[in-house]
Structures are given as C-alpha cells and as structure tokens.
Amino acid sequence: MSIKPSITVMNGPNLNLLGTRKPEVYGHTTLSDVEDLVRADAEKLGLELRFLQSNHEGQLIDWIHETGPAFKAGESIGMVYNPGAHTHYSYAIRDAIEGAQVPVIELHISNVHAREEFRHHSVISPVARGIIVGFGVVGYSLAVRGLYELHEAEVSKNLKPGVRT
C-alpha cells in the first residue's frame, strides 16, 4: 500500500471566523465547511490533506518549518496558505516560507486588489509558487488542484518537485 501525497492547507488570523465575519465579503461558508469541500475534491486526486488555522504568527511559522522537512522527505507536495492580514506585513512568515523551500500557493477568498489600498501589496507573493485570488471558498479547491498539477508536471519531467521551470 502506497502513502498518499499530502498537502497542508494553512489559514492565518481571523479565518476561524469564516462564515460569520464580514459575510458580504467572505460569504457564509464556515472553515469547517471549506475543509469538507476541499477534502472531497482532494480525495478524487488521491491526496491527503492537513488543515491548520491559527491567529498567532509564531504558530504559523512553526507549522511552515514542519512542512519543509516533510516536503524534502517526499511526504508532502506543498502548502496552500491563506495568510489573512499577515499578507501585507509579515516578513517573518515570508522568510519562513523562503527558508522551508516548500511550494506554496497563496490564497485569498476575496479579490484583495478590488478592496482597500493597503490590501493590494503582499510580502508573501514573491516566495509563493502561485496565487489564487477572488474565487471565494472555491479558491481552496483550485489551489489544491493547482499544486497537485504542478507537482505532477514536475514529476513527469523528472524534475525535483518544487523546482520552478
């Protein structure tokens, strides 16, 4: 029996309030609902998912550090990360992602570029493998699928997964 490839889906500050906080922007779907939706989609791809959420920057950094060795060991194919407000100022998280050398898809439920000016800049994007913005909670499934497809393409080219082409 082979081990399923895994993806970590990590959520930053305030995403535990999904479904109740600013539903006009983020919708009524809860984080638990998102997990159910994405797990069902991931199962079709033969993926195992690890869902994490914290409002604390240090905890998020620790989880990023854990994902790096799992990726290098071939146990993980990467991370989907919704950094919330950390998008705009957390150089510590940016540096953790860069140091972990794990493919990360940055995800935002809303179109941050159509919102307040301060939301238009991301310190995470330069170290992300890709970005999904503005598709609502469906973006989580798109990000998982995108990370899976990138991994499969790299494997088929006999590249070390995570290497940018």
pLDDT at 150 over 70: yes
User: Is 6-156 CATH 3.40.50.970?
Assistant: no
Picking from 105, 98, 102, the residue whose alpha carbon sits closest to that of residue 75 is 102
- So where are the chain's domains? 6-156
**What are the tens digits of pLDDT across the range 27-47?**
688 999 999 999 999 999 999
- pTM of the full structure: 0.88
pLDDT at 165: 43
Catalytic residue among 81, 108, 140, 151: 108
Give whole-number Cα distances, 56 to 7, 19, 50, 85, in Å. Answer: 21, 20, 18, 11
54 carries a ligand binding annotation: no
Arithmetic mean of pLDDT, 119-132: 92
55 appears as a binding residue in the annotation: no
Q: Catalytic annotation on 113?
A: no
pLDDT 10s digits, 52-95? 999 999 999 999 999 999 999 889 999 999 999 999 999 999 99
Catalytic, 108? Answer yes
Is 145 annotated in a binding site? The answer is: no
- Judge whether residue 11 has pLDDT over 70: yes
What span, in angstroms and rounded, lies between the C-alpha atoms of 137 and 23? 12
